[in-house]
Amino acid sequence: MTPILKTCAALSAIKLGKALHGYVVKQGHFSCQSVSKALLNMYAKCGELDECNKIFGQMGYRDTVIWNIILSGFSGSQTNNDKVMKLFSAMHTGGEAKPSPVTFAIIFPVYARVGYIDAGKCIHSYVIKSGIETNNLVGNSLVSMYAKCGLVFYDAFTAFNSISQKDAVSWNAIIAGFAENRFINDALKLFDESFAYWSGREIHCYVLRRSELVADVSVCNFLVSFYLRLGQTEEAESFFQRMNSRDLVSWNAIISGYASNGEWLKALDSFYRLLSVDKIGPDCVTILSIIPACACLQNLQVGKSIHGYVFRHPRLYEDVAVGNAMVSFYAKCNNVGASSKTFLTMDQRDLISWNSMLDSFAESGYNTEFFNLLWRMFTEGLMLDSVTILIIIRFCATLLRANKVKETHGYAIKAGFLQDDIVPTIGNALLDACFDTDITTWNLLVCVYAENDCPDQTLYFFQQLQAQGMKPDAVTIIGLLPVCAHIASNNFLRQCHGYVVRACLDDVRLKGALLDLYAKCGVIACAYRLFQSSPYKDLVMFTAMVGGFAMHGMGEEALMVFSHMLEMGLKPDHVIMTAVLSACSHSGLVREGLKIFYSIEEVHGMKPTMEQYACVVDLLARGGLVDDAFSFVTRMPVKANAKIWGTLLGACRTHHKVELGHLVAGHLFEVEADNIGNYVVMSNLYAAEARWDQVVEVRRLMRTRDLKKEAGCSWIEVERRKNTFVAGDSSHPERGIIYSTLSILDQQIKEPVRA
């Protein structure tokens, strides 16, 4: 019976499964554990969750497999997230069955789906205590959970590194995580590592099939180094233990590999084993590998023993790199005296030696010694490098010497360091020097980059903020929201809105910003729902809603909201008056728009702004009253600006008012002579009336003033991916199909609509 039920589950044959269920009950086989499990699994796989829940309730003893089946069944539906979490809680607290790796692989995606990252982290700590964080299933699901919650840089990557035997799913999860969180370069780097890993495994298999290669110590050394460079310490250790013979390169590879992967104790153990091997003694590479391990372990005693060994061997003592390593070691162990003594006894020193000693003084707060050594570097004619600059900046930052940081910054610019690959390093150091990286600092960075139309940098700092363990507040989200409009991402906007709801950020300004962004992203229905659901509406909320309706040409709705605001007793300002005028303009409500305009001064006691005058000109022009618009401009109490004349010129082109357009263009070019758009509109106006000599004249003016039209650019988000289009672009491999389709669409748009 059990195999048949499994087949029904695999084929989703629910009718046959139910018939078998009836047969099982009649025959009294339900009490059989394997049969009841098979029935439960069949209903879970077929999505019959009510029956599944009923059978689960009838089962007396529930082992881990049974819990996993019921969890898996409910986790398949996004509407049952709460049920899955309740079931897991019942499983954990009941003590009847212990969660297995499969259990965690089922529930972590659910926590990622609902964004309960704090609860996910609590379960992660339970996983660590249980000692199963190295399991592939658990590790892969953890990586995916953290990545989907935006915590890819630290949490997801740490979970990835904890997986002992990484498979293709592990690599895919971390690469996808970096890519989805816009860390494209890191994703590509990991992809290269993944490709290298599987290629290396193939080479390893080939070596094992060839006895002469297995016996070649250089080939084996390469494989050990290969695995260690990719962080596969267990595979490297296993292969190292099976090597028939080892030379000094073998030992150096395993010691340096352990050290570079943070396995400090294993590195020390391997070093001691090397010392016990006859006829093989450590060389400079060995010392340079083991000393950092001693520094990280703060093991001063072992470090001193190694230093003594160095003293007894001139070939090591005379090596500058070894001396530098010893200077750095003593500095990290807070023994500045020994560090300075080692530095002074070195026969030869390079810039690394000086930087190591300088860093030692800086880290230990030896201010006088730091400046004396820096002065000595200048007097001896040493050329500072980027490392020296970083040390100086961080040292001055600890002293709160902003003027010295600025001087160092100026030196870095003059020396050309900010043009090299180390720009991010020095830039980050300057950031650390100038600010305490609290939430206010990160908010400032997010807002500054967002306001300057730098969406990628804005998102980078937003991700860094979260990577630092800080929680975005209302100011963060308000600063971030303009990016949603800039990249036209409805999905990202909804994520921000979801975070606002989950974090209970009850801020009126934030709701107004969300409303405005929903409107700008074309989701006016969501904007209006948000407006209606807000119990407290201030002027900002009303302005955002009116502006949203204006953008969508919904003038009557905008006037309705504006009237409601006036009934509530709220006094309008210039911003909302401009929004109402814009709504009337985009909807052709000329009479209502003029009434609103004259009420600005007569009813509300405000002087109209230039932008409001421009709205009236646009209102009249869109209504076909171009002559009235020109008359209105000439009667304005203030001198018209380029925006007003530009609006009027566009109206002349639309309504074929060539002579008036020529007159308007004269005024416009006096105010704004270098705007390429004005010349293009004028040229198109003449071209539409076949006045080719005047078209040539306008083009000549453009050339004499060296004006060039920038290529148009637009973008759209499809399936969470931003697609950018640039006018005249010919780089796409299917450009022929694209441009022919555009031509067809253009023709269809211009064709008159047939009733």
Each residue's pLDDT tens digit, 649-707: 777 777 777 777 777 776 766 766 565 555 666 666 666 656 666 666 666 665 665 55
| Distance, C-alpha 313 to centroid of its chain | 51
**Angle subtended at Cα 738 by Cα 732 and Cα 742, rounded to the nearest 5 degrees:** 140
**Cβ atoms within 10 Å, residue 381:** 6
* CB contact at 8 A, 619 and 651: no
Residue pointed to by tokens 């970083």: 390
Cα–Cα dist 665/645, whole Å: 8
Comparing 494 with 250, which gets the higher pLDDT?
250
Question: How confident is the model at residue 421, as a pLDDT?
Answer: 41
Cα–Cα dist 488/716, whole Å: 6
Tokens of 364: 């230990």
75-84, 109-118, 651-660: the lowest-pLDDT one: 651-660
Alpha carbons within 13 A on the beta-carbon side of 461: 26
* Each residue's pLDDT tens digit, 126-184: 888 888 878 888 888 888 888 888 777 678 878 887 787 777 788 788 888 877 776 76
Contacts of 214 (CB under 8 A, 6+ apart): 207, 208, 220, 244
Cα–Cα dist 605/618, whole Å: 23
* CB contact at 8 A, 110 and 145: no
Helices (H) and strands (E) in the chain, counts: 44, 2
Mean pLDDT in residue range 267-293: 85
> Diameter of the chain by CA atoms?
103
* CB contact at 8 A, 285 and 293: no
Q: CA 93 → CA 64, 102, 110, distances in Å? A: 13, 18, 19
Rg (CA), the chain: 36
Q: Could you tell me if residue 743 is inside a domain? A: yes
Question: How confident is the model at residue 59, as a pLDDT?
Answer: 77
Cα–Cα dist 604/571, whole Å: 8
264-273, 439-448, 465-474, 671-680: the lowest-pLDDT one: 671-680
In the predicted structure, residue 323 carries a pLDDT above the cut 50: yes
Q: Could you tell me if residue 460 is inside a domain? A: no
Contacts of 105 (CB under 8 A, 6+ apart): 137, 138, 140, 141
Comparing 45 with 258, which gets the higher pLDDT?
258
* CB contact at 8 A, 730 and 711: no
Reported confidence tier of residue 15, pLDDT bands at 50, 70, 90: confident
108-122, 227-241, 499-513, 552-566: the lowest-pLDDT one: 499-513
Comparing 87 with 730, which gets the higher pLDDT?
87
Q: Could you tell me if residue 746 is inside a domain? A: yes
As for how many domains the chain has, the answer is 1
Tokens of 47: 């999505």
Cα–Cα dist 626/633, whole Å: 11
Cα–Cα dist 286/247, whole Å: 12
Q: Could you tell me if residue 734 is inside a domain? A: yes
* CB contact at 8 A, 505 and 474: yes
In the predicted structure, residue 646 carries a pLDDT above the cut 80: no
Cα–Cα dist 330/666, whole Å: 77
Type and span of the H or E element at 714: strand 713-718
Output b/e per residue, 487-518; b: 16+ Cβ within 10 A.
bbbbebbbebbebbeeeebeeeebbbbbbbbb
In the predicted structure, residue 620 carries a pLDDT above the cut 50: yes
Residue pointed to by tokens 């001087």: 407
* Each residue's pLDDT tens digit, 471-483: 888 887 887 777 7
Question: How confident is the model at residue 716, as a pLDDT?
Answer: 64
Which of helix, strand or coil describes residue 541? helix
Return the closest-CA partner of residue 527 out of 537, 538, 514. Answer: 514
Which of helix, strand or coil describes residue 394? helix
Strand partners, 725: 714
Question: How confident is the model at residue 753, as a pLDDT?
Answer: 52
Which of helix, strand or coil describes residue 4? helix
DSSP annotation string for 119-165: HHHHHHHHHHHHT-TTSHHHHHHHHHHHHHTT-IIIIIHHHHHH-SS
**Angle subtended at Cα 63 by Cα 62 and Cα 68, rounded to the nearest 5 degrees:** 95
Mean pLDDT in residue range 597-603: 87
Reported confidence tier of residue 713, pLDDT bands at 50, 70, 90: low
| Distance, C-alpha 507 to centroid of its chain | 25
Mean pLDDT in residue range 626-645: 81
Q: Which domain holds residue 744?
A: 716-750
* Each residue's pLDDT tens digit, 27-46: 666 566 677 777 777 777 78
Q: Could you tell me if residue 740 is inside a domain? A: yes
Q: Could you tell me if residue 739 is inside a domain? A: yes
User: In the chain, pLDDT over 90 holds for what percent of residues?
Assistant: 1
425-439, 596-610, 615-629: the lowest-pLDDT one: 425-439
Rounded-to-5 percentages of helix, strand, coil across the chain: 75, 0, 25
Which of helix, strand or coil describes residue 713? strand
Reported confidence tier of residue 755, pLDDT bands at 50, 70, 90: very low
Cα–Cα dist 472/454, whole Å: 19
Cα–Cα dist 637/654, whole Å: 27
**Cβ atoms within 10 Å, residue 290:** 28
Give me the long-range contacts of 240-247 (CB less than 8 A, separation at least 24). 243/217, 244/214, 244/215, 245/215, 245/217, 246/217, 246/277, 247/217, 247/221, 247/280
In the predicted structure, residue 559 carries a pLDDT above the cut 60: yes
* CB contact at 8 A, 540 and 508: yes
**Cβ atoms within 10 Å, residue 624:** 14
Of 75-89, 369-383, 469-483, the range with the highest mean pLDDT is 369-383
* CB contact at 8 A, 70 and 84: no
Comparing 108 with 704, which gets the higher pLDDT?
108
Question: How confident is the model at residue 740, as a pLDDT?
Answer: 78
Return the closest-CA partner of residue 466 out of 734, 684, 156, 226. Answer: 156
Cα–Cα dist 415/485, whole Å: 40
Q: Could you tell me if residue 125 is inside a domain? A: no
Helix 386-398 and helix 402-415: axis angle, to 10°? Answer: 170
Cα–Cα dist 344/352, whole Å: 14
Question: How confident is the model at residue 79, as a pLDDT?
Answer: 76
**Angle subtended at Cα 85 by Cα 83 and Cα 90, rounded to the nearest 5 degrees:** 95
* Each residue's pLDDT tens digit, 462-508: 777 777 777 888 887 887 777 776 666 667 777 777 777 777 777 77
**Cβ atoms within 10 Å, residue 747:** 9
Mean pLDDT in residue range 448-458: 72
Q: Could you tell me if residue 48 is inside a domain? A: no
Cα–Cα dist 48/31, whole Å: 21
